[in-house]
Amino acid sequence: MRKGTRSVSFTLNGEKKTFATRPDEKLLDLLRREGYRGSKYGCGQGTCGACTVIMDGRAVYGCLLYAMQAEGREIRTIESVGTFERPGEVQNELAAAGAVQCGYCIPGIVMSATALMESEKDLSDEIAREYMDGNLCRCTGYEKIWLALRRVFDRRAGGSPAPGRSGKGAKK
Ligand code: FES
Ligand code: FES
């Protein structure tokens, strides 16, 4: 191992993995270097959410965490959610709603929505909007994104989807 190089072990998308890293390497950089390129680099300072991954059930910014902080944790990336051929539920709804323009923000939005659905039963507008507030989109105006997420959240809650529910005020 080269001087200054460390190893870090964690569960990645259900598999135990060990990677070489450096003390100053960010988790996002390690993931992308190792081929998990679905997570995106946007602002690099915890503002845009493009880099969102799930760590031990919580949505986190991969650009802020050091790779070493993933030691022993369970990390999930967008690659665990669905593929182009077999998209996951959130991805399907986003596509069906026409909510994807450039697509750069979408992996982060999918990961935040996934963490929210898995951890929270009360997916009221207030809670969901606050949780999703850490994911910015520069293209869409959020209306269609919100409509798609709301449909998934309503289905998960056991209710029927709420057609026509607008995403007014979903983001600044
Ligand atoms: S790249 Fe991590 S929050 Fe923007
Ligand atoms: S679709 Fe382009 S940033 Fe969201």
Q: Is residue 168 part of a domain?
A: no
pLDDT single digits (tens) 135-166: 999 999 999 999 999 999 998 876 544 333 23
pLDDT at 162 (0 to 100):
39
Asked whether the predicted pLDDT for residue 168 surpasses 50, the reply is no
Where in the sequence is the domain holding 131, given as residue range(s)?
Answer: 89-156
Residues 98 and 33 both lie in one domain: no
| Ligand 1 binding site (Cβ under 6 Å of any ligand atom) | 41-44, 46-51, 61, 63
Residue 123 pLDDT class (50, 70, 90 cuts): confident
Measured from the CB, is residue 136 less than 6 Å from ligand 2?
Answer: no
Give the atom of ligand 1 at the shortest distance from the alpha carbon of 40.
Answer: 1
pLDDT at 170 (0 to 100):
29
Which of 79, 100, 134 is the last residue before a domain boundary?
79
pLDDT at 159 (0 to 100):
53
CA distances 22 to 11, 26, 33, 67, 165, Å, are: 18, 9, 13, 8, 47
Write the CATH number for 106. 1.10.150.120
